[in-house]
Structure 1
Amino acid sequence: MTRLAFPYGFDAQGRSRTVAYASDAHLRDMLELLILTRLGERVMRAELGSPVLQMVFGAGEGPAALALQASLEATIAQELGHLLKLHDLTTQFLDAEGVLEIVVHFEARARPQVSRLVVRTDLP
């Protein structure tokens, strides 16, 4: 079974680009969408999302960083736990570059291979 790829695009035949369900590419797409979706952004699923885009305006050290990391781990486990196992998640505020970096190490439940995803978002 296939799903539309994120971001939306076209393949060589001019059709919508797709990825296989639960493949590494599909899991990366879903993780990125989940991390960058604001809480309450989805009308029918108001609890879906993470506070990442709100946290870029706050302090990036100490308790705020730990709270963001714990929130992301809980959100990923709740929404994608049936498809992947979370191995490690780190959040880092890079003040010199003005970037929030989130690194996720995960394993697809269908295949015992650890994959890595890096999501970077600019700070205001």
Structure 2
Amino acid sequence: MNVKFTYQFSGQGRTASTDNDGHIRDMIEQLLFTNPGERLNRPSFGGALNQLVFQPNSDELAATTQFLVQGALQQWLGDLIEVNAVQVTNDDALLKVIVAYTVRTTQQNFIEQFTR
């Protein structure tokens, strides 16, 4: 059993859980939205997407974010997933991050979208 991120309660009033694929998706989300320095014993852990909220949205920001996200995923989750593609687009005030990956243990492909 893997605890669901963000912490939630199930319909039975217990801690919500998720399967392995959902847990990996949750770990990707945690990585992307954790700022470096927030984890005590892992000061370089994080994708820092939350910090981008205060940056002017531009094509340059999207390109830089794509590079940083792909590097963070490979560094911290590379033993669990193979990153197939990272696409970052800016749409007005919204930054969209699309991650295509393969779970190494099952060889299943997933595409997930994260926005800020």
TM (normalized to structure 2)? 0.89
Aligned to 2:111: 116
Aligned length: 116
- 2:15 is matched with 16
Name the structure 2 match of 1:25: 22
AA aligned opposite 1:18: S
| Aligned equivalents of 1:118, 1:90: Cα separation in 2 | 9
Contact 1:5 1:18 in 2 (8 A): yes
String of CA shifts for 1:15-54, please: whole Å, max 9, x gaps: 211223xx22111111111101111111221111013222
SS in 2 for 1:28: helix
CA distance in 1, matches of 2:50, 2:85: 21
Q: Percent identity?
A: 28
**Structure 1 length-normalised TM:** 0.84
RMSD: 1.5
Q: Structure 2 stretches of 5 or more lacking a match?
A: none
Paired position in structure 1 for 2:57: 60
Residue of structure 2 in register with 1:37 after alignment: 34
| Structure 1 gaps, min length 5 | none
Partner of 2:91: 94
CA distance in 2 between counterparts of 1:9 and 1:71 reads 29
Displacement of 1:60 = 3.2
> CA shift at 1:119, angstroms?
0.5
Distance 2:73 2:3 in 1: 20
Paired residue type of 1:14: G
Counterpart-to-counterpart distance in 1, 2:6 and 2:64: 28
Q: Structure 1 or 2: larger helix share?
A: 2
Matched, 1:75 2:68: no
Of stretches 86-95 and 59-68 in structure 1, the one that deviates more from structure 2 is 59-68
